[in-house]
């Protein structure tokens, strides 16, 4: 939606946000009006004061609400669900368009910002529900290391050198992806024939790779977690984990615009605090974390071609599979400048970036040190 000086307060009002949520909206992309063309209307531009208001307003947009049974589970044929009987409620939190849920014994709405949620004493079911739902909504900002693995058909492949054999079918995401970089690292580490490996490689998305493994159309796959653990649950072998391929390989990190750091450092500070709290909570409660993430990591029809949608039931995730996946990751809040620099230099050596640069240009660790 396009934000102008005339509609900014209406578009970000509680009433309009609630309306969007009721319509099923889970992500909002807003564009600030920019006057272009021959006769632009500069009066529609948002003012500096309105920009500051919008930044602060976004901080307030953690909004939790109790979903109706139909919103939560649709209209099932069976009527014996606790949600339908009023014995439990599904609470949903929205933060920057990201949704997270948690079950509770009571319903209710809540509006607040990250700092306020962190201050909740967690002394009753409602407060714990708000915290867990909000935590779920911010899980995608977690920092982790590793998270990739080479899974193989143990009947055909027993060592990394077997990947060079003629006729071996290896799956990997597109060039430049993290999985692809890990594959190149594996080739270098074990002194493999790059030309043979690449000629055996089929470029497929992670979802299509696990489908191909399930249908025995691949012999090996370089996969990110949780897909690698999913393949393991079917009898494939994790031949090499991310920590073995690239020790101390940096994974996902929190990324924010420089403008946000300059204009609203308190919001960035709150985001870092929530990420730290979420990271610690995941490490302390792996089963609960796996259960929360289960809903968001399912493979859907959108990930597969129509002809393959019939196998979706076989691709169902279990909490145990996600727990195993979490064991292959190292969730942490520390960032190693030297490791990031090594990754940048390696990307240059592969030709994926035109030239190397200092990691200090893209890393700001001051918020972590507070």
The answer, yes or no, to whether residue 298 has pLDDT greater than 70, is no
The dihedral over CA atoms of 205, 207, 211, 217, expressed in degrees to the nearest 10, equals 20
Q: Which of 43-47, 108-112, 151-155, 344-348 has the lowest mean pLDDT?
A: 108-112
pLDDT digits (tens, 9 = 90+) for 226-255: 788 888 878 888 888 888 888 777 767 777
Output the pLDDT for position 140. Answer: 43
225: part of which helix (H) or strand (E)? none
Domains, the chain, with CATH or none: 2-141 (no CATH), 142-370 (3.40.190.10)
Output the pLDDT for position 169. Answer: 95
Which conformational region is residue 185 in: left (phi greater than 0), alpha (psi within -120 to 50 degrees), or beta? alpha
Q: By percentage, how much of the chain surpasses pLDDT 90?
A: 15
Cα separation values, 347 from 182, 212, 247, 324, Å: 11, 28, 16, 29
pLDDT digits (tens, 9 = 90+) for 247-283: 777 767 777 888 888 888 888 888 888 888 888 887 7
Output the pLDDT for position 339. Answer: 85
Output the pLDDT for position 209. Answer: 87
- Please state the pTM of the whole predicted model: 0.55
The answer, yes or no, to whether residue 302 has pLDDT greater than 90, is no
CA–CA dist 201, 289 (Å, integer): 34
Output the pLDDT for position 294. Answer: 61
- Higher-pLDDT residue of 172 and 117 is 172
Output the pLDDT for position 335. Answer: 79
Output the pLDDT for position 221. Answer: 95
CA–CA dist 65, 93 (Å, integer): 7
Output the pLDDT for position 301. Answer: 45
Output the pLDDT for position 188. Answer: 93
CA–CA dist 3, 126 (Å, integer): 35
How would you write 119-188 as a 3-class SS string? CCCCCCHHHHHHHHHHHHHCHHHCCEEECEEEEECCCCCCCHHHHHCCCCCEEECCCCCHHHHHHHHHHH
pLDDT digits (tens, 9 = 90+) for 65-92: 777 777 666 666 666 677 777 777 888 7
Name residue, tokens 């564009």. Answer: 31
225 near 328, Cβ under 8 Å?
A: yes
Output the pLDDT for position 317. Answer: 61
Residue 334: pLDDT band with limits 50, 70, 90: confident
Helices first, then strands: H and E counts in the chain? 17, 13
131 near 287, Cβ under 8 Å?
A: no
Residue 306: pLDDT band with limits 50, 70, 90: very low
pLDDT digits (tens, 9 = 90+) for 5-51: 999 989 888 788 778 767 767 667 788 888 888 888 888 898 888 88
Output the pLDDT for position 138. Answer: 60
pLDDT digits (tens, 9 = 90+) for 116-163: 777 778 788 888 888 777 766 665 434 445 578 899 998 889 899 999
């Amino acid at each position: 939606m396009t934000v102008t000086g005339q509609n900014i307060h209406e578009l970000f009002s509680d009433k309009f946000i609630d309306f969007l949520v009721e319509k099923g909206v889970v992500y909002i992309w807003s564009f600030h009006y920019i006057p272009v063309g021959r006769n632009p209307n500069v009066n529609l531009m948002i003012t500096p004061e309105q920009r500051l208001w919008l930044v602060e307003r976004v901080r307030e947009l953690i909004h939790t609400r109790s979903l109706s049974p139909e919103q939560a589970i649709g209209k099932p044929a069976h009527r014996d669900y606790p949600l339908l009987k009023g014995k439990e409620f599904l609470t949903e939190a929205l933060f920057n368009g990201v949704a997270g849920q948690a079950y509770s014994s009571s319903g209710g709405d809540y509006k607040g910002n990250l700092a306020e949620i962190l201050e909740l004493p967690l002394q009753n079911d409602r407060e714990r529900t708000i915290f867990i739902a909000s935590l779920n909504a911010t899980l995608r900002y977690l920092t982790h290391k590793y998270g990739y693995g080479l899974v193989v058909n143990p009947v055909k492949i027993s060592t990394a050198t077997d990947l060079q054999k003629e006729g071996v079918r290896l799956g990997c995401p597109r060039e430049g992806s993290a999985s692809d970089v890990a594959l190149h690292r594996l080739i270098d580490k074990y002194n493999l024939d790059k030309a043979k490996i690449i000629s055996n490689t089929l470029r497929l998305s992670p979802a299509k790779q696990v489908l191909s493994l399930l249908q025995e159309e691949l012999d090996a796959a370089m996969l990110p977690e949780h897909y690698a653990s999913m393949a393991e649950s079917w009898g494939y072998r994790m031949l090499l984990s991310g920590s073995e391929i690239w020790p101390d390989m940096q994974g996902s990190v929190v990324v924010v615009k420089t403008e946000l750091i300059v204009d609203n450092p308190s919001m960035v500070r709150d985001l870092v605090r929530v990420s730290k709290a979420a990271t610690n909570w995941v490490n302390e409660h792996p089963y609960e974390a796996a259960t929360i993430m289960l809903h968001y990591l399912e493979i859907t029809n959108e990930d597969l071609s129509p002809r393959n949608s019939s196998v979706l039931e076989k691709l169902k995730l279990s909490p145990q599979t996600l727990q195993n996946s979490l064991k292959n990751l190292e969730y942490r809040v520390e960032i190693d400048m030297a490791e990031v620099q090594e990754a940048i230099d390696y990307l240059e050596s592969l030709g994926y970036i035109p030239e190397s640069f200092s990691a200090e240009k893209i890393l700001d660790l001051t918020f972590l040190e507070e």
